[in-house]
Structure 1
Amino acid sequence: MSLSQDIPLSNEGVSSSSWSKHDTSWMLSLFGTAVGAGILFLPINIGAGGFWPLVLMALLAFPMTYFAHRGLARFVLSSRNDQADFTDVVEEHFGRSAGLVISVLYFLSIFPILLIYGVGLTNTVDSFIVNQLGFASPSRIVLSGLLVLGMITIMLAGEKVMLKAFEVIVYPLAAILFGLSLYMIPNWHLPTMSVMPSIGDFSLTVWLSVPVTVFAFSHAAAISSFAQAQRRHYAKAATEKAEHILKRTSMMLIGFVLFFVFSCVLSLSPAQLLEAKAQNVSVLSYLANIHDNPFIVLLGPVIAFIAISSSFLGHFLGARESFNGLVRKHSRLSSNATDKVGIVFMMLSIWGAAVMNPSILGMMEAFSGPVIAMILFIMPVIAVYKVESLRHYRGKVSNHFILVVGVLAVSAILFNF
């Protein structure tokens, strides 16, 4: 069962050059998938390395984001089967055994992040109830159960409801990010432009910043369902429309997120950024602590809740599709039964993680990170030179660029781990 099944098939006369409400809905859903809680740590993680590495990563952010997700969407749309999801496509192009391994890794790259968001959502709401509203901490079992059930109910309502939920969530998220970025402008102080790091320090900082930048803008979890929806909606124009939507999504991401990052970094000194990194707190928490600003104190949990909720929906979309594809191919369950088993399994797992509140989130991210980098950056490039239907993309500079970024991301993550 696919979420895209409640989108009616469009005829081939639909214009691929015009922009529709359908396109806007998917752009917002991809934006929401990318902008998770990680954005609150991005200014510290990148800015602590210095101003010039930040400038370079800002320049590279758009091609890294757009080319990588475009490549993954092209890969999903390269199947001969119009109904194929990611699991079907990897088996078609890489064989049953290799396809199974890649599909399992793909699921395991998304699922731990979903658990992290379940924990984060519960902690954020609990903290807001206690610290901002002044009430006693509610039962964690009940609170986490209601939150997880609410998120999953939105997904079960179908793709149209899910996309509508993204619209409701993402608009205030983008508005708050933009407003907060403007709010911090009076506190900006320009860095000393003449201070240049050594080549070695600069290279090391940029290398270790690659995975941070990659995953801050990643919406890979929703790409397979997104590509399927475009194929159903636009038929033969699906690839062209998918690329058009992804380009606008990347531009929106880069614009809002980088403005927020630069505004935060320019509001803090290098010493303060290093202190925030050592404290392992979000940039909003640190700003609230040093300025004792009730405006930022109130906005912090609101932004965190909206960001985690939107990213939860996008990652649940990918995990649900991946689980269904795996079980459907290796069991006798019907598609409907498989979907129900997957929903129950994921709901209980997320709920259980939220109740236990584990302290192994960093290890989960370390495991998911390299796999996402390989699937988002490396595998689609390999497919271009292996899959006949993708042969017309060979020899493009963007392929080499994405492959290099993927190798750098995987190696930097493993180096840090």
Structure 2
Amino acid sequence: MSASADFEVPARLAGAVPFTRYDMGWVVLCIGMAIGAGIVFLPVQVGITGLWVFAASVLLAYPALYFMQNLYLQTLSQSAECENYAGIITQYLGKNWGVFLGILYFFMLVKGMLTYSLAATFDTAKYLQNFGVTTGLLSDSPFFSLGLLLFLVLIAAQGEKIVFKVSSPLVVFKLGVVVLLGIVMIPHWDLAMNLPSLPQIKKFAIDTVLTAPFTLFSIMFVQILSPMNIAFRKVEKDPRIATYRAIRANRIAYFILVVAVLFFAVSFSFALSHEEALSAKEQNISALALASSVIHGDGVLYMSTALNVFAIVTAFLGIYLGLEEAIKGVAMNIITRFIPTERVNKRVVSVGVCLFIVVGLWGWVQTRFSILLLQQLASPIYGIASFIIPCVLVYKVPVLRKFASPKVWYVFLFGLILCLSPVLKAMGY
């Protein structure tokens, strides 16, 4: 069958599974999850390291991501019950492993929420000032960030249906803007200046490793795969069909993102010089903030502003589903050690999780931590939780050994590469 070579669904059954608006909703949400901080900062990194390094990082990262996300869904599909990621791991390896792996998954999601809470707060305040809505920066007031985060969490906490309604038009719009910005950059290409010669081998290898996290994050949406798998399992009686639909949605979103993001990044790298990219790094601004310096006019300014805001908001809404699920999973794992499951008030747990997320993110925003530094320091979390752990599960859990292949080892090695990024930065590269 077409959705997965390793997941068995009868051909007659797979061919009869329609692609519904619900499926499309998850495809859109996956794309919205991916088009966030990664894509807006990727062209800056490409401008610094060069197009050849970016090409190498794409050849390294994109296949690894494709194999990993399929493997991730396949490992989830084999569990008898499907409530949350930590619960699935508990079924495989017991409660202690469930807590440990659930916490790692939690930290991976937390990194995304920390990034988007900072970006949503400071970018929103800056744009309100730039467009003359406010005279000062609202981000200087702690009440602004508290109100904004509470508003976003209240929307996201309503579940995937309301997130679909809020996110879908925004995701379609920002995907269109990504392609359109790439097109309008074409007249400003300067291949002679921005197509560098091949660097020295050692520098080329190091820069490729350092660029790999940015390349990966530009189309990565693994945070939403577990909630998507759970959602399909709830609406589909046959778990094989549920997994087929999840893998199909994952692949459609992946291929759309590869085409759109590669075009966007390459177009920007041909239009922006190395010096402009270095300037953006020093100012801690995104490629979208540089767009107005390359192409003057209100149209580009409005497009880049809208893309930046919508990218952050839709990614925030998408990743919240995964974070809430992860926290609930860890909380339930701990609570049920002391209270029988049937006596736990799940409504109280859900409300407590929402309040915990709002207060935690609000406190984090007050630190004003660097987003770029966070991206660099957090890559090992993704390497371990998203790439290494699914591979370990394949060889540790008997029911998953059927998924063992050279692709699994490739995913594992890429996970190790991601863990090298902060080490190389600490060494001064």
**TM-score scaled by length of structure 1:** 0.89
**1:414 matches 2:416:** no
CA distance in 1, matches of 2:264, 2:196: 24
Deviations 1:45-75 (A, max 9, x none): 1332122222233344542322111111222
Q: CA deviation at 1:362?
A: 5.1
Q: 1:402 aligns with which of 387, 411, 414?
A: 411
Q: 2:346 aligns with which of 318, 326, 335?
A: 335
Report 1:137-148 matches (<5 A): 137=136, 138=138, 140-148=141-149
Going from structure 1 to structure 2, the CA distance change for 1:179 and 1:93 (only over 3 Å counts) comes to same
Report 1:234-253 matches (<5 A): 234=236, 235=238, 236-253=240-257
Going from structure 1 to structure 2, the CA distance change for 1:227 and 1:214 (only over 3 Å counts) comes to same
- Given that 1:74 and 1:239 are in contact with CA atoms closer than 8 Å, whether structure 2 keeps it comes out as yes
Equivalent position SS for 2:413: helix
> Which residue number corresponds to residue 380 of structure 2?
370
Equivalent position SS for 1:179: helix
> Which residue number corresponds to residue 3 of structure 2?
none
- Given that 2:159 and 2:321 are in contact with CA atoms closer than 8 Å, whether structure 1 keeps it comes out as no
Going from structure 1 to structure 2, the CA distance change for 1:204 and 1:367 (only over 3 Å counts) comes to closer
Q: Unpaired runs of 5+ in structure 2? A: 1-11
> Which residue number corresponds to residue 353 of structure 1?
364
CA distance in 2, matches of 1:322, 1:166: 21
**1:255 matches 2:259:** yes
- Given that 1:211 and 1:410 are in contact with CA atoms closer than 8 Å, whether structure 2 keeps it comes out as no
Q: CA deviation at 1:265?
A: 0.1
Letter in 1 for 2:267: S
Structure 1 stretch 178-187 or stretch 283-292: which is displaced more? 283-292
Counting matched residue pairs gives 403
Going from structure 1 to structure 2, the CA distance change for 1:189 and 1:34 (only over 3 Å counts) comes to same
- Given that 1:211 and 1:413 are in contact with CA atoms closer than 8 Å, whether structure 2 keeps it comes out as no
- Given that 2:34 and 2:221 are in contact with CA atoms closer than 8 Å, whether structure 1 keeps it comes out as yes
> Which residue number corresponds to residue 320 of structure 2?
316
Equivalent position SS for 1:48: helix
Equivalent position SS for 2:191: coil
Going from structure 1 to structure 2, the CA distance change for 1:119 and 1:204 (only over 3 Å counts) comes to closer
Going from structure 1 to structure 2, the CA distance change for 1:318 and 1:289 (only over 3 Å counts) comes to same
Q: Percent identity?
A: 24
> Which residue number corresponds to residue 18 of structure 2?
18
Letter in 1 for 2:202: G
Deviations 1:23-66 (A, max 9, x none): 11101111111111231110111332122222233344542322
Going from structure 1 to structure 2, the CA distance change for 1:14 and 1:408 (only over 3 Å counts) comes to closer
- Given that 2:14 and 2:244 are in contact with CA atoms closer than 8 Å, whether structure 1 keeps it comes out as no
Q: CA deviation at 1:290?
A: 5.3
Deviations 1:196-221 (A, max 9, x none): 22222222221222222222222122
CA distance in 1, matches of 2:95, 2:332: 14
* Backbone CA RMSD of aligned residues: 2.4
> Which residue number corresponds to residue 231 of structure 1?
233
CA distance in 2, matches of 1:381, 1:372: 13
Q: 1:383 aligns with which of 393, 418, 421?
A: 393
Deviations 1:176-209 (A, max 9, x none): 1111111111001225768322222222221222
Q: Unpaired runs of 5+ in structure 1? A: 1-11
Q: 2:214 aligns with which of 199, 212, 215?
A: 212
Going from structure 1 to structure 2, the CA distance change for 1:244 and 1:290 (only over 3 Å counts) comes to closer
Q: CA deviation at 1:293?
A: 4.2
> Which residue number corresponds to residue 6 of structure 1?
none
**TM-score scaled by length of structure 2:** 0.86
**1:288 matches 2:297:** no
Q: CA deviation at 1:267?
A: 0.4
CA distance in 1, matches of 2:410, 2:23: 27
Going from structure 1 to structure 2, the CA distance change for 1:399 and 1:16 (only over 3 Å counts) comes to farther
Equivalent position SS for 1:359: coil
Going from structure 1 to structure 2, the CA distance change for 1:195 and 1:112 (only over 3 Å counts) comes to closer
Q: 1:267 aligns with which of 265, 268, 271?
A: 271
Going from structure 1 to structure 2, the CA distance change for 1:194 and 1:131 (only over 3 Å counts) comes to closer
